[in-house]
Amino acid sequence: MKTLVNKAAKHAFSLAMATVLSISAMSVSNTAFANEKVVDNAPEMATLRGTAPLNAEVTPPAMSKVENNDLKRQRDYPQQPPTIPHDISKYQLDKNFNKCMDCHSRKFADEAQAPAVSVTHYMNRDGDFLGEMSPRRYFCTQCHVHQLESEPLVENEFVDMEKIIRKAHERSK
C-alpha cells in the first residue's frame, strides 16, 4: 500500500512540474511577443493613436491654448449652455467662492459688460424664484465649457437644427 501511495505522489509531483514548466514556457514566449511592435498600417477604425502600435508608448500632442477672445459663440441647439470665451484656469470656483459671479451675476453684469446668468439659475427644482443663485447652478463648469485654439481631433458631422429644418422646407417645395 505504501508503494502505491509513493507512486501516486511521484505521479502528482511529475504532473505539477510539467504544468509549471509549460506555464513558464508560455509566459516567456508571450513576453517576447509583447516586446514586438505590432503596427496596423491600414486601421479599419480611425483612432487618436493613428497607426502607432498598441503596445508602444506614444508621445501625446502638446496641450492647446485656451481660447481667450471674449467673443460670444453661436449656439447650435435650443437650451445649449453658452461656451466660456475666456480663460478661467485661475478662477476660484468651489463651495466657498465663485469667481464667475464677479462679472456674470445680475448685480455686476452691466458694469463688467458681461452677459448676466439666466433667470433659470435663480430658480429651484420646483420653478420657484430664489433671492440668490440656486445651489444646483452654482458650479458653472458642470454645463459651461471653455474652448481650445486647436484643430478638431475627429471630424464633426453635427448638423444644426436650423439647417435640417431649412433643408426639409426646401425639399417640400
pLDDT tens string 3-20: 655 676 677 777 766 776
pLDDT tens string 70-93: 888 888 778 889 999 999 999 999
pLDDT for residue 74: 85
Instruction: Report in angstroms the alpha-carbon separations of 65 from 74, 75, 93, 143.
Output: 21, 22, 20, 20
pTM value is 0.59
pLDDT tens string 79-138: 889 999 999 999 999 989 999 999 999 899 999 999 999 999 999 999 999 988 898 889
Instruction: Report in angstroms the alpha-carbon separations of 168 from 74, 136, 149, 162.
Output: 22, 38, 34, 10
Grid cell digits, residue 92:
476660484
Grid cell digits, residue 47:
483612432
Grid cell digits, residue 127:
420653478
For 125, phi then psi, to 5°, come to -60, -30
65: enclosing H helix or E strand:
strand 65-66
pLDDT tens string 21-63: 677 666 655 555 556 666 666 667 767 777 777 788 888 888 8
Burial 22-48 (b: 16+ CB within 10 A, else e): eeeeeeeeeeeeeeeeeeeeeeeeeee
pLDDT for residue 140: 93
- One DSSP character per residue, 123-151 reads B-TTS-B-SS--GGG--GGGT--B-EES-
Does the pLDDT at position 166 exceed 60? yes
